[in-house]
Amino acid sequence: METADVVLVSSDLRKLSYAVGLSQATMHNMTQNIVFALVVAASLLVGVLVKAVNLSYGMLIHEISINRREIENSGSSFFR
C-alpha cells in the first residue's frame, strides 16, 4: 500500500471511477488555487512597485486572499 497510486479497500471496482473523478477534481482545484495565488501576488507586486499599495498592506491583502480561498474550498467540501 505504500507504493500504490490507488488503494481500494473493498473489492468493488466501481469505486475506481469515483477515485479517478476525485483526483481530477483535486487537480482542478489545485490548478485554480495556484492561478489565483499567482494573480494576487502579481497584482500586489505591481501595486507595490508603482507605490499604489504599501508593502505591509500588500502582505495583509495577500494573506487574507489566500485564507479566504482555503476557507471557501474547505467549506464547499461539506456540501459534496
Would you kindly state where each structural domain of the chain is located, as residue ranges?
32-79
**What integer pLDDT is reported at residue 67 of this predicted model?**
79
pLDDT by residue (tens digit) across 37-49?
888 889 888 988 8
Mean per-residue pLDDT for 9-15? 79
Residue 62 contacts by C-beta under 8 Å, 6 or more apart in sequence?
40, 41, 44
pLDDT by residue (tens digit) across 37-80?
888 889 888 988 898 888 888 888 878 877 777 777 666 555 55
Residue 7 has pLDDT above 80, yes or no: no
Mean per-residue pLDDT for 2-13? 72
